[in-house]
Structure 1
């Protein structure tokens, strides 16, 4: 996260040296990532100007701009224009990190059964944390999502994306950034498995929506045993409707 006085912070200099390889821009990206990992660069730090980076790395401005585009796309750098602009180190959001994992999962040879089995392990194991940490605001959000799901079912507009959104928000109730990132990464594969289950049993949306509400009420009552029973039954039914 950047701060209001980012524009006044002095650029971090003396951290870079010339590179000479075929994919120079990737080498620069890797060098910056390493500096961030080692704590030499931290969120809010401003990188040297393009001209200074060119001199320090011994490359052209085109190469520097390409590297900055990659870093910006990765959520590691924010490039701002203007008198107080420049390239600033940022802390990538949970959503951005999750998207990266989601891309890897989506491009791999996962089956709907693989995804549902993994969800059984992760989402059921998260329930103790959710029961312990869910706030009144969390409960209200979950109940709102179940109300929206019921209304969509009544109107004939329900989509499996609403179910996936509920499960992502549910995981967020554990207030564990690593778990939230993991569930965000599962969003695309989760949609794939839910769509396959819907094709297999198109009338099960109502039952699933009812279970969502029952699960929220169990969490609200801090009833772990009931919440686990509902979650297991909920996911097992999805598992039974997808191919192994």
Structure 2
């Protein structure tokens, strides 16, 4: 299945070949890759690029390297969290403003809300209420953080029960958190209002009231947008 390579940065060529075989269905999660020695022979390269290729595959969540008698490289399915980390790093290192992030949130979060209202389960609703209660308690004792707010919005997205949406929103976690922190710096007293809006949003989702949910979320996001206008994330 593998072709010999003889170009610069051969480790990336090896990675591309393995990814191609995964896309074609010739390799699947759980499959054990050939040994390092066998891979070297099949690709016609030394152990250095083979080991580097395995590190790249492991870093991207496509493989895991085990040790021991049954050790070696095994293909895995990348999780939403792992894939999201890469996207989050790219977004976090880009010259974004908090306003840029909030505009994107309006498109994404309002866009997925119909699915959330339609598909949210009783467990989803319970967990969202739990997050709100925990946030309220933290606000009272002075331990509330924007990480708690970000976790709420991510959990709302998960209630759409679409792995692509969860992956997208989790990948946006870094910029989302930074924009929320900027908003809190500008108006630290708004935490109580934010939690109240979270509660109204979950109430609307529970009653399958899309219009009410959209009204609450739109005002919630517009208020954040007004606070962070022209504010950079750095």
Common fold: TM-score over 0.5: yes
Pairwise CA RMSD of aligned residues?
1.0
Query: Does 2:59 correspond to 1:73?
Result: yes
Q: CA deviation at 1:68?
A: 0.3
In 2, the alpha carbon distance for the partners of 1:17 and 1:226 equals 58
1:241 counterpart SS class: helix
CA drift of 1:84 comes to 2.1
Provide the TM-score with structure 2 as the length reference. Answer: 0.96
Distance 1:101 1:29 in 2: 19
1:53 aligns with 2:39: yes
Moved more, 62-71 or 141-150: 62-71
List per-residue Cα deviations over 1:111-136 (Å, max 9, x = no partner). Answer: 11010001011101111101111111
Q: How many residues align?
A: 230
Deviant stretches of 4+, over 3 Å? none
CA distance in 1 between partners of 2:148 and 2:80 (Å): 20
Structure 2 unaligned blocks of 5 or more:
none
**Could you tell me which residue of structure 1 aligns to residue 149 of structure 2?**
163
Q: Of 173, 177, 182, which aligns to 2:163?
A: 177
Q: Distance in 1 between matches of 2:24 and 2:227?
A: 46
- 1:178 CA displacement: 0.7
Q: Where does structure 1 lack aligned partners over 5 or more consecutive residues?
A: 1-14
For residue 232 of structure 1, what is the aligned residue in structure 2? 218
Instruction: From 5, 8, 11, give the equivalent of 1:25.
Output: 11
Q: Give the drift of 1:45.
A: 1.3
Aligned twin of 1:190: 176
Measured after TM superposition, the shift of residue 63 of structure 1 is 1.9
The more displaced of 148-157 and 93-102 is 93-102
Counterpart position of 1:125:
111
Which residue pairs with 1:115 in the alignment? Answer: 101
Match of 1:85 among 65, 71, 92: 71
Q: What TM-score, normalized by structure 1, do the two folds share?
A: 0.92
